[in-house]
Structure 1
Amino acid sequence: MSSTTEHYEKLLTKYLDGQCNAAETAELYSWLQASGSHRALLKTMQQEFQNAFNTQQEIPVEISDRIETKLLQSITETKPKTKIHTLWYYAAASVAAAIILLLILKQPTPELANKPITVAASITPGTNKAVLTLSNGSTVFLDSAGNQVISQGATTVLQKNGQLQYDSKASSEATVYNTLTVPRGGQFNIILPDGSHVWLNAASSLRYPTSFNGKDRRVDITGQGYFEVAPNAKQPFIVQVNNMEIQVLGTAFDVMAYSDEKSVNTTLIQGAVKVNDKRLLPGQQALMDPATGDITIRNADVEQVIAWKTGFFEFDNARLSDILRQLSRWYDIDINYKQTTNERLLGGRISRSLPLSDILHMLEANGPVFELVGRKLTVK
């Protein structure tokens, strides 16, 4: 972190503690308007406080938590093999400090007012949405607002908001399969017939039986999913990913198997799994080369791996091309970018609830220039 950044980090902390004088307050406000990335942060702060004060005389805990996680989010260049967290967390020290900040943010800001709104401002984050393909081939569209009951023989499927839940009764009928497909710009979660819980990231799919009647519980996944498997020692849970099998008894783990990524990653959060014939310990990650089938085991940053599930992008020594692939899936955009061999390494933690324009401003502060036409993003 640069000395300049450290200075403003300390200044912001001092401000939120109500200890800034008028000159320091003016300095901080000028810095927040100094660049595109700072302006994006300022806008986010202003929206959070404005929403709070439009409806509340006091800031409740849940609002202050949102302010804390969104107050300053940035992407900065990192050094190879160096772990740098560039999201600064600050909570408003008191309601009085928050009121002071709100009053400052509400002052007229010609630079912001005259800045044209880019096309990117209209591209919003992903939402809860998916398509359920039933055993007879018919499809049901799902979103965060839908509530419905779907019957398939002895199986009842309940959709409630952004979740799908199965209630299967013992049946001698032949095993049938459903597929839950999440498009780009979406996410969804499902409770399987055995009680196992699966969260699917954008551009992912899960194929599974409507009841687990065999010697094991077997599902197939593409894309990325986070699993919390219901324990059942007599009926192992198996996740099939291309030519790789993940064998589970009861555990929590993440699988990332996008076709445009260089490896299929299985990260164990708790419990135990075997990836083909290799056993993982909590905090370890198996990387399989799709071309050769070779598997490498390494220690993982678990928080970074499952950041998507908790509502964040998190990068550590990531190339711009790596970041753009994630943005492409979550914001449903196409990327036109010629990757170079000397790409900068970037780090940061950013809320997935931000509009695309805010994230592009942060990235542009580190060098790249973007042009967005429709849903096609070109890196110049």
Structure 2
Amino acid sequence: MEQEQINKLAQKFLEGTATDAEQKMLHDWYDGINTHEELPVDGEALRLRMQQAIANRTAKRRPWIKRLAAAAAVLLVITAGTYLLQRNKPVQTTKTHPYKEDAAPGTNKAILTLYDGTTIELDSSKNGALGKQGNTTILKTAGGQLAYQSNDQPASQEVHYNKVVTPRGGQYQIMLPDGTKVWLNAESSLYFPAEFTGKERNVKLTGEAYFEVAHNAQAPFIVSVADVDVEVLGTHFNVMAYADEHAIKTSLFEGAVKIKDNLLRPGQQMQVYKDGRFKVVTDPFMEDAIAWKDGMFVFNNDNLDNIMRRLSRWYDVEISFSTDKIRNNEFTGQISRHEKLSEVLKMLELTDAVHFEIERKKIIAMP
């Protein structure tokens, strides 16, 4: 395909006007350059940009992600001269420089602490039974998931609480004894009983997690985060509650949840601030609240400060800014969380709005 035709298709893709056939042509061209062992400089740069701008075709698409595809995806190269889009404006860029050091992406790893204080490193433990508490068997499945399997006997009188902690650079999936599925993001923890008894199913969360709650009208599921309770019956939602974020954000995808006597509907987000104020956002950009679970970073006019906090947790690195002036630079785009840190930084650098140095476990961001 000629360069002029590539440029026209890329521009239409950015504007959200490309037909299905034109998008397929762009995908096919991208797949073609991805198979070359060696690429010209502009082709290699374009391959990097397409990783961000074109959605992961193996991931499930949701109605609200169409807004991302229709928006001007930042960092998509649209000409052979490596012009990029940052906040919908074309910017002439310079080449990125090689980094002296790098950091691998996070992996599935976590530590399980049983009620008696015994700790189990889940990533290094063998598949199969890890222990038994009351009427519940604790298993590590063949897929690497932690599962609590009840034997359907009457619940024991003594309730045993367990805790799963993911470190920086870790994530893990848990199936609770009631069948509820939990995806735990990096630097997070979940405190829960080995058996749910009584009229409520209570768990405590720090950090971030995505929940698919098993329906039980007789026993509401309650997620406690700091002094905020998220009450549900059976639903899909994400809670982001890192201590270094300005608000606790609960994003609802299916069903209904109640927070501070406010009932959320699918596609809405509740934001609770540290001073007690809160608001319901009726039309938030939902994809950035769930993309991490699907192995993606998705940015939608996110400032650099916010982006670097996410990278810090996932790559287990410290962040430093040479000047506060660049903290509020905004970016829109997406990239796989399975890429090395250097690949993410290269893409941001190609806007020429920010540059980076990696010194051991520290990233320095500068103009």
TM-score over 0.5 (shorter chain)? yes
Task: After TM superposition, list the pairs within 5 Å mapping 1:37-76 onto structure 2.
Answer: 37-38=45-46, 40=48
The structural deviation recorded for 1:276 is 2.0
Query: 1:59-102 CA deviation, whole Å, 9 max, x = no partner?
Result: xxxxxx97x679xxxxxxxxxxx9544487xxxxxxxxxxxxxx
Give the match for residue 354 of structure 2. Answer: 368
Q: What is the correspondence of 1:90-169 to structure 2 with a 5 Å cutoff?
A: 118-121=99-102, 123-143=103-123, 146-154=126-134, 155-160=136-141, 161-169=143-151
| Matches of 1:126 and 1:147, distance apart in 2 | 21
Q: Where does residue 339 of structure 2 map in the other structure?
A: 354
List alignment gaps of at least 5 residues for structure 2.
Answer: 12-21, 30-38, 60-69, 77-94
Task: Write the letter of the residue equivalent to 2:328.
Answer: E
Tell which deviates more after alignment, 298-307 or 131-140. 298-307
Deviation at 1:168, TM superposition (A): 2.8
CA distance in 1, matches of 2:7, 2:288: 23
Tell me the distance in 1 between the aligned counterparts of 2:355 and 2:250: 34
Q: 2:194 aligns with which of 183, 199, 210?
A: 210
Q: Following TM superposition, by how much is the alpha carbon of 1:12 offset from its aligned partner in structure 2, in angstroms?
A: 9.8
1:144-166 alpha-carbon deviations (Å, 9 max, x no partner): 87413122332211012431000
Question: TM-score with structure 1 length normalisation?
Answer: 0.73
Deviation at 1:5, TM superposition (A): 9.1
Kindly indicate whether the alpha-carbon contact (under 8 Å) linking 2:115 and 2:161 is maintained by their aligned counterparts in 1: yes
One-letter amino acid matched to 1:375: K
CA distance, structure 2, for counterparts of residue 271 and residue 260 of structure 1 = 29
The residue identity in structure 2 corresponding to 1:165 is A
Structure-2 residue corresponding to 1:316 = 300
Residue-by-residue CA offset, 1:262-296 (whole Å, 9 max, x unaligned): 10000110100001211101000000002x22210
Q: How does 1:218-257 map to 2 (within 5 A)?
A: 218-257=202-241
Residue identity in the other structure for 1:119: K
Percent of aligned positions that are identical:
41
CA-based RMSD: 3.2
- Whether contact under 8 Å (1:149, 1:156) holds in the other structure is yes
Q: Which runs of 5+ in 1 are unaligned?
A: 19-27, 46-64, 71-81, 89-111
Task: Verify the 8 A CA contact 2:188 2:208 in the aligned structure 1.
Answer: yes
Aligned residue for 2:292, secondary structure, equals coil
How many residue pairs are counted as aligned between the two chains? 308
Normalised to the residue count of structure 2, the TM-score between the two structures is 0.75
Kindly indicate whether residue 295 of structure 2 is the aligned counterpart of residue 297 of structure 1: no
- In structure 2, the CA distance between the partners of 1:365 and 1:127, relative to structure 1 (3 Å rule), is same
Cα offset for 1:326? 0.5
Shift of 1:342: 7.0
The answer on whether the counterparts of 1:144 and 1:162 sit within 8 Å (CA) in structure 2 is no
- 3-state SS of paired residue (2:364): strand
In structure 2, give the amino acid aligned to 1:357.
Answer: S
Q: 1:251 to 1:5 in 2, by over 3 A?
A: same
Per-residue deviation, residues 110-165 of structure 1 (Å, max 9, x unmatched) = xx9xx9853344x1111100000110111100118741312233221101243100
